[in-house]
C-alpha cells in the first residue's frame, strides 16, 4: 500500500509536469521543428538589422523610427529563434519633436544602426537624418545604456557602420553621406572616417570611398586579410546587395553584386548582416525592401499591399567562391545569389521561441514588445495603480488633435502575412466625457474600434477609419472585449461583452505600410476636452500563423 501511494504521487507529479510543460507551435515561416526553417525568420517589421555574436549568443538591433523605447534588441542562440530583450534608448531625448507634447517626429528618429562589441563594451550607433550621428554604450547588452553622444551634427546622413582594426590599432566609421552634388544622377557618396579607439569621436573629415545609386546600409568585415564593405544600392530597377573588396579599407576596391531579387520573391532583397555559425558555415540575414520600383529609374516606387507587415527578416546560407560570398542560391548560374524559402537550421538543438506578443500585464515593467507612439507621457500610464492591468489615462492631443497628435498610443508589430487573431479585455468604467479609447491598427493610416463618451456620460461604440467615423450602439457594460481578425492584408474588428459571443462592427479594411513602418496593433486613449478618464487593459492575446513559444 505504501509503495502504491509513492507511485501515485510520482505519477501525479509527472502528469502535472507534463501539463505545465511549455507548448510551442510552428507555422508557415520560421523554425519548422524538424531541423529546418522556412523564410522569413522574422515575419514582421524588423528592418535595418545588425547582428553581433558574443559568447555563443547572437544579438540583433532593428530600427524603430519615432517609437519609444527605440532600437529594439533581440537575442538568439541559433540564428533562427529570437526574443526581444529590450531597447537601447528608453526615450528619444536628442530632439524635442519626439516628445508627447510635440508629436512631430513621424518618419524620422532611429534609422538603421550598427551594433558592436569591443574591449568589453557594447556600442550602438545610429543616424537621425534630421539631427546627426549618435552613439551610446553599455557594459551589458541589456543596459543601462548611456545617453546618446552626438559624434557629428549633419543632416541627410544614413546608416553608419564601424570597425576596429586590431592589427593597425585604428577604428573606422563609414556612412552614407547623402547625394554627391557634383553628380547629376542620384548617386550617394559613402565616406570613411577615422574614429577614436574608444569609439566616441571622429578624428577627420572623412574620405569618399564609393558612390552608387541609392548606396547605403554599409557593414564592414575583414576576412582572411581582405576588407569587405557590404552595401545596398539600386541597379536595374532592383535594390541589390553589393560588396566592395580590397586589401586596404580605403581601397582600391573590386565591386561585385552579391544578391538580387530573382524569381523567389516580388520585393527586393538586401541590407543585413553576415554571420558565422560554430560549425564554420556562413549565413546572411537580409530584409525584404518595403516597396519596389514602379518604372525604371524610380528609386522609391509605390507602397504596395505586399509590404503591409513591414520589412521582414530572411536568413540564407552563404557559400564562398573565388573569395566572394554567394548569398543564398544561384539558380541561373550568373554568380549572383537569390534568397531561399527553405533551408536547414544554422544551429540545431535549441527550442522554438518567438518575439513576445501576449501580455497579461502582471509584471511591474512593460513588456518589451510594446512601444509608444513618440515619447510617452509618463504620468498618464501605470502598471501599479491597478495591479494586473495597464492603465492608460486620457490627455488632450496637441495641435489639431486626433489620433496622430494623441500621446500614449501603445502598439506592437503584427506577425506574419497569413491569418491572425488578436483579442483584448478592457475595463471602461473609468472613462469620462470627451474621452475616446479602444483597439487600433496603424502605420501610415489608422483604423480604430472603441468607445467615445459623450457630454452626458453616454458611452457609444465607434469605428473610425482614417477620420471617417461610424457610430454604433450605446454601451452600458463596464467591460468590453475587442478582437481583430487578420487575413492577409485585410482585417475586421469585432467586440463582445462576455468574451464568447462576438459582434462584427465596421467595414473590412486593408492593412498598409506607411511612414516607414508596417502595420501595428494596440490601444489608443485620448480626451478632446480635458485630461480626464482612463481605461484598464486586463490582457492582450495574439495568435498568428508562425512559430510561438509559450
Domains of the chain: 36-293+308-344 (2.115.10.20), 371-549 (2.60.120.200)
pLDDT category at 177 given cuts 50, 70, 90 is confident
Mean pLDDT of 266-286: 96
pLDDT digits (tens, 9 = 90+) for 387-412: 999 999 999 999 999 999 999 999 99
Contact 92, 80 (CB under 8 A): no
Checking if the pLDDT of 211 tops 60, the result is yes
* Residue 235 pLDDT: 82
Q: Is 31 a catalytic residue?
A: no
Question: Cα separation of 437 and 409, whole Å?
Answer: 10
pLDDT category at 24 given cuts 50, 70, 90 is confident
What does residue 115 show for φ and ψ, rounded to 5 degrees?
-110, 130
27-43: b (≥16 Cβ within 10 Å) or e: bbbbbbeeeebbbbbbb
What does residue 98 show for φ and ψ, rounded to 5 degrees?
-90, 0
Contact 79, 58 (CB under 8 A): yes
pLDDT digits (tens, 9 = 90+) for 81-122: 999 999 999 999 999 999 999 999 999 999 999 999 999 999
Q: Is the peptide bond before 252 cis (omega within 30 degrees of 0)?
A: yes
Mean pLDDT of 527-548: 97
Contact 358, 540 (CB under 8 A): yes
* Residue 316 pLDDT: 98
Which residues have C-beta within 8 Å of that of residue 24, sequence separation ≥ 6? 33, 351, 352, 353, 547, 548, 549, 550
* Residue 20 pLDDT: 39
Checking if the pLDDT of 15 tops 90, the result is no
Q: Is the peptide bond before 144 cis (omega within 30 degrees of 0)?
A: yes
What does residue 410 show for φ and ψ, rounded to 5 degrees?
-120, 135
**Which is more confident, 236 or 65?**
65
* Residue 550 pLDDT: 58
* Residue of 452, 542, 479, 470 lying closest to 509 (CA atoms): 470
pLDDT digits (tens, 9 = 90+) for 438-455: 999 999 899 999 999 999
pTM (predicted TM-score): 0.93
Checking if the pLDDT of 150 tops 50, the result is yes
Q: What does the angle CA 180 – CA 219 – CA 141 come to, to the nearest 5 degrees? A: 130
Which residues have C-beta within 8 Å of that of residue 52, sequence separation ≥ 6? 58, 59, 115, 116, 117
pLDDT category at 191 given cuts 50, 70, 90 is very high
State the catalytic residue, choosing from 216, 489, 519, 536. 216
Question: Cα separation of 43 and 354, whole Å?
Answer: 10
Checking if the pLDDT of 293 tops 90, the result is no
State the catalytic residue, choosing from 31, 48, 75, 309. 48
Checking if the pLDDT of 2 tops 80, the result is no
Question: Cα separation of 543 and 550, whole Å?
Answer: 11
Contact 418, 309 (CB under 8 A): no
Which residues have C-beta within 8 Å of that of residue 213, sequence separation ≥ 6? 185, 186, 187, 188, 233, 234, 235, 299
- What are the angstrom distances between the C-alpha of 67 and each of 100, 118, 275, 355? 11, 28, 28, 17
pLDDT category at 4 given cuts 50, 70, 90 is very low
Checking if the pLDDT of 8 tops 70, the result is no
Q: Is 48 a catalytic residue?
A: yes
* Residue of 93, 172, 179, 85 lying closest to 128 (CA atoms): 93
> Which residue shows C-alpha cell 550617394?
188
- Starting at the earlier edge strand, list the strands of the sheet with 57-62: 50-54, 57-62, 70-76, 83-89
Rounded to the nearest integer, the mean pLDDT of the chain is 92
- What are the angstrom distances between the C-alpha of 20 and each of 361, 499, 510? 21, 24, 39
pLDDT category at 262 given cuts 50, 70, 90 is confident
The pLDDT > 90 percentage for the chain reads 84
- Starting at the earlier edge strand, list the strands of the sheet with 216-223: 216-223, 226-235, 238-246, 254-259
What does residue 534 show for φ and ψ, rounded to 5 degrees?
-155, 165
* Residue of 337, 328, 285 lying closest to 47 (CA atoms): 285
Question: Cα separation of 386 and 411, whole Å?
Answer: 20
State how far Cα 291 lies from the chain centre: 17
Mean pLDDT of 21-33: 83
Amino acid at each position: 500500500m505504501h509503495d502504491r501511494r509513492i507511485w501515485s504521487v510520482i505519477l501525479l507529479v509527472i502528469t502535472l509536469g507534463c501539463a505545465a510543460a511549455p507548448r510551442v507551435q510552428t507555422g508557415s515561416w520560421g523554425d519548422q521543428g524538424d531541423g529546418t526553417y522556412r523564410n522569413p525568420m522574422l515575419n514582421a517589421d524588423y528592418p535595418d538589422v545588425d547582428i553581433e555574436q558574443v559568447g555563443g549568443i547572437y544579438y540583433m538591433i532593428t530600427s524603430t523610427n519615432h517609437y519609444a523605447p527605440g532600437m529594439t534588441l533581440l537575442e538568439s542562440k541559433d540564428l533562427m529563434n529570437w526574443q526581444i530583450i529590450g531597447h537601447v534608448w528608453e526615450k528619444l531625448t536628442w530632439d524635442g519633436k519626439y516628445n508627447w507634447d510635440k508629436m512631430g517626429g513621424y518618419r524620422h528618429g532611429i534609422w538603421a544602426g550598427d551594433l558592436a562589441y569591443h574591449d568589453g563594451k557594447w556600442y550602438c550607433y545610429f543616424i537621425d537624418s534630421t539631427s546627426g550621428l549618435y552613439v551610446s554604450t553599455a557594459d551589458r547588452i541589456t543596459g543601462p545604456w548611456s545617453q546618446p553622444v552626438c559624434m557629428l551634427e549633419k543632416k541627410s546622413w544614413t546608416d553608419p557602420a564601424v570597425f576596429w582594426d586590431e592589427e593597425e590599432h585604428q577604428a573606422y566609421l563609414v556612412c552614407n553621406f547623402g547625394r554627391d552634388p557634383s553628380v547629376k544622377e542620384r548617386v550617394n557618396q559613402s565616406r570613411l572616417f577615422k574614429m577614436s579607439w574608444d569609439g566616441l569621436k571622429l578624428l577627420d573629415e572623412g574620405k569618399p570611398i564609393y558612390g552608387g545609386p541609392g548606396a547605403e546600409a554599409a557593414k564592414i568585415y575583414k576576412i582572411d586579410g581582405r576588407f569587405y564593405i557590404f552595401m545596398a544600392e539600386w541597379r536595374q530597377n532592383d535594390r541589390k546587395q553589393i560588396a566592395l573588396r580590397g586589401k586596404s579599407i580605403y581601397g582600391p576596391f573590386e565591386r561585385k553584386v552579391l544578391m538580387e531579387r530573382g524569381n523567389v520573391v516580388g520585393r527586393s532583397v538586401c541590407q543585413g548582416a553576415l554571420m558565422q555559425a560554430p560549425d564554420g558555415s556562413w549565413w546572411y540575414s537580409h530584409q525584404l525592401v518595403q516597396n519596389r520600383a514602379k518604372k525604371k529609374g524610380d528609386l522609391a516606387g509605390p507602397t504596395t499591399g505586399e509590404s503591409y507587415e513591414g520589412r521582414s527578416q530572411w536568413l540564407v546560407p552563404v557559400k564562398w567562391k573565388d573569395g566572394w560570398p554567394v548569398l543564398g542560391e544561384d539558380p541561373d548560374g550568373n554568380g549572383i545569389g537569390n534568397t531561399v524559402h527553405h533551408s536547414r537550421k544554422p544551429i540545431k538543438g535549441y527550442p522554438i521561441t518567438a518575439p513576445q506578443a501576449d501580455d497579461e500585464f502582471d509584471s511591474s515593467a512593460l513588456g518589451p514588445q510594446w512601444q509608444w507612439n513618440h515619447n510617452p507621457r509618463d504620468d498618464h500610464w501605470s502598471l501599479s495603480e491597478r495591479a494586473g492591468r495597464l492603465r492608460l489615462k486620457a490627455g488632450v492631443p496637441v495641435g489639431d488633435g486626433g489620433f496622430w497628435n494623441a500621446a500614449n498610443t501603445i502598439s506592437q508589430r503584427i506577425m506574419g502575412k497569413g491569418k491572425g487573431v488578436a483579442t483584448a479585455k478592457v475595463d471602461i468604467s473609468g472613462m469620462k466625457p470627451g474621452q475616446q479609447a479602444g483597439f487600433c491598427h496603424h502605420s501610415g493610416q489608422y483604423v480604430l474600434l472603441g468607445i467615445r463618451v459623450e457630454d452626458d456620460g453616454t458611452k457609444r461604440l465607434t469605428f473610425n477609419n482614417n477620420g471617417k467615423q461610424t457610430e454604433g450602439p450605446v454601451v452600458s457594460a463596464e467591460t468590453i472585449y475587442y478582437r481583430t481578425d487578420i487575413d492577409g492584408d485585410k482585417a475586421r474588428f469585432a467586440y463582445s461583452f462576455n468574451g464568447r459571443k462576438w459582434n462584427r462592427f465596421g467595414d473590412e479594411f486593408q492593412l498598409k505600410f506607411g511612414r516607414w513602418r508596417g502595420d501595428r496593433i494596440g490601444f489608443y486613449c485620448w480626451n478632446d476636452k480635458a485630461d480626464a478618464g482612463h481605461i484598464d487593459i486586463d490582457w492582450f492575446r495574439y495568435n498568428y500563423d508562425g512559430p510561438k513559444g509559450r
